[in-house]
Chain A
Amino acid sequence: MRGLFDLSVATGLALGLGGVFLSYLGNPANSGICISCFLENIAGALTLHHEIRMSYIRPEISGFILGSFMMAISTGRFKVKGGASPAVRFLLGFFMIAGCAVFIGCPIKMILRLGAGDLTAIPAALGLASGVYIGVRYLKGGFRPGIPKDMPGINGLFIPAFALLLLLFLWLRPGFIAIGQRGPAAEHAPILIALGIGLGIGALAQRSGLCITGGIRNLFLARDLTLFNGLVMALVSAVVLNLLLGSFHLGLHAQPSSHQAHGWTFLAMLLVGFSSVLIDGCPFRQLIKAGTGDVDAAMTTMGMLVGGALVFGWSIRSTSAGPAFGGKIAVIAGLIFSVGVAYLLRQRVRRT
């Protein structure tokens, strides 16, 4: 248990330091690591949307998946399982990214934004914790998405192979891949360093099981601090490195990719927290699990990628001006869907 505790803290440390360092090396400010932003970038690079400013193949994503994959293979933890409500997971993956797009960032970016002094991320943290709490109530109330079964091995190789293919596309740059030369797409750390950091964090996260919403869930569910300590370490290390690099700016205003619609921020991250508990993991954790042969997490990952495309296609996101109308609708629709799923997949205790 002690070893696992240390590994969670080590993963949190790597996330905090890695996130800030990647921004320092060229990734967008406060977005050194952001699963939702990066998936939006990848969706753009694959021309699933046409916002060229948000089109780039982020090697960090491939790094997380392949790091987890290699660690799982080398430790005998690669187990191909799935079939527990895959369609539901796909749609919840989509709504998770919609929620992230309304906040402008995934739970990891929320920690990085807090670590850079961005106070607009506080309503996001409260929303995320509230969403996780609601999810925990449903778990205690009998929510069961189904039992995953063993599946043929090739199903588990799909997402790692996709991650490898993305790296090939980044290297070869075939004509159908769009790489933006301005905006956030043009802001990136050197490819090999970004990939290396991704691989390291992916491998660590596979061993430790670190998950942003999982840490909060375990705290609510069982008063277990193991993963939560990792989150605290991620935040503390981000604050310290930001202070050292001069990128800590405490305040509500002049914060990168932020807006002042705090109510919508709260609701958006409530959706992310709630849906993450229903599908057992935040966006980052879904990538890590997809690398270990979890076919359900692979379905969620595909849902997240589609979400990354449609947040632009359907304008269900926020800018510094606040959430677009489509973003507000997506958050409400996502909450209705999540509650509906939680309601329909409950195993109720029959009283005699």
Chain B
Amino acid sequence: MDWIDRISLVAIGILTVVLVGMLVRHHIYASPVPAPDPAIRLEAFYKRQRQMDEEIFKKPLSLEKKGEFTRAAALFKRIIRTQPNRASGYEYLANLYLKMGDLSKSIHYFRMAVERNPDYVDKKTPIYIGNRLKRLVSEGREKFSREKSLKPNDPVVKQTLKDIYYLQSRLAGGCE
């Protein structure tokens, strides 16, 4: 072992001690306040989101309450055009179409909501609606499979079945 080797080993030793010391010091002093539970943070995040959504979609929601479904749908769509990535708008619209009895459109907008925010089908989040979607998709699949055999080239039926398959796959879970 020559002097270069000796200096190298001493340097590695000193730097390692310094590194470990810095890490220990950081671990002891850097975070005196424990971080809040992730589930609580998520709950709070979605509570704020819901308040913002209610503000943004105030008018169409009030029209929906009054039973003016067609006007409410048009207004939801107008707001969605300005905020196309806000998943909650599609969820509101999907619920509205369900009230109006249009299963095909309802399924389509639920798909758009899930595409933009997969938390809708994640049991660990407060906005999980998976069980409702499962019932809806099961009802839709039965209805539109029947319709497909009667109208095999109908584009609406084809699209609805695609939406159903998409939702079924998301509801099944997996690494996506």
Contacts and interface: CB of A to CB of B under 8 A. Distances in A.
A47 interface: no
Contacts of B30: 175
B5 interface: no
Given A253-B165, A319-B115, A321-B115, A181 B175 contact: no
B107 to A, nearest CB: 14
Interface in B17-54: 30, 38-39, 42
Interface stretch (B57-65, B71-79, B96-104, B118-126): B118-126
Interface in B145-176: 162, 165-166, 168-176
Interface in B125-153: 125
Nearest to A254: B168
A28 interface: yes
Interface string A269-305: 0000000000000000000000000000000000000
A186 interface: yes
A247 to B, nearest CB: 10
A104 B172 contact: no
Given A53-B118, A181-B42, A183-B122, A30 B174 contact: yes
Interface stretch (A2-10, A75-83, A257-265, A335-343): A257-265
A104 B124 contact: no
A181 B39 contact: yes
Dominant secondary structure at the A interface: loop
Contact of A29 (B42, B115, B162, B172): B172
Interface in A228-254: 253-254
Contact of A255 (B38, B162, B169): B169
Determine which residue in B39, B162, B174, B175 has the highest number of CB atoms from chain A within 10 A of its CB, and name it.
Answer: B175
A211 interface: no
Determine which residue in A30, A187, A256 has the highest number of CB atoms from chain B within 10 A of its CB, and name it.
Answer: A256
Contact of B42 (A104, A182, A255, A257): A182
B48 to A, nearest CB: 16
B119 A104 contact: no
Nearest to B171: A254
Nearest to B138: A254
Determine which residue in A183, A255, A320 has the highest number of CB atoms from chain B within 10 A of its CB, and name it.
Answer: A320
Contacts of B38: 181
Contacts of A227: none
B175 A258 contact: no
B75 to A, nearest CB: 27
A257 B169 contact: yes
Interface residues of B, number: 22
A62 interface: no
B175 A257 contact: yes
A31 interface: yes
A31 B170 contact: no
A25 B162 CA distance: 31
A124 interface: no
A96 interface: no
A104 B165 contact: no
Interface in A177-229: 181-184, 186-187
A92 interface: no
A128 interface: no
Contact of A183 (B118, B166, B168, B172): B118
Contacts of A37: 175
Nearest to B170: A320
A34 interface: yes
B124 A182 contact: yes
Contact of A28 (B42, B118, B169, B173): B173
A187 to B, nearest CB: 8
Contact of B175 (A28, A254, A260): A28
A260 B173 CA distance: 16
B35 to A, nearest CB: 10
Contacts of B175: 28, 31, 34, 37, 54, 104-105, 184, 256-257
Nearest to A322: B166
B16 to A, nearest CB: 14
A31 B172 CA distance: 12
Contact of B176 (A182, A253, A319): A319
B171 A28 contact: no
B169 A182 contact: no
A175 B125 CA distance: 23
A253 B118 contact: no
Given A181-B124, A320-B170, 7 more contacts: A30-B174, A181-B39, A253-B168, A255-B169, A258-B169, A258-B174, A320-B166
15 contacts: A31-B174, A34-B175, A37-B175, A53-B118, A182-B42, A182-B122, A183-B118, A184-B174, A253-B165, A254-B168, A254-B169, A257-B169, A257-B176, A260-B165, A320-B169
Return the 4 tightest CB-CB contacts between A and B, nearest first.
A256-B174, A257-B174, A254-B168, A320-B169
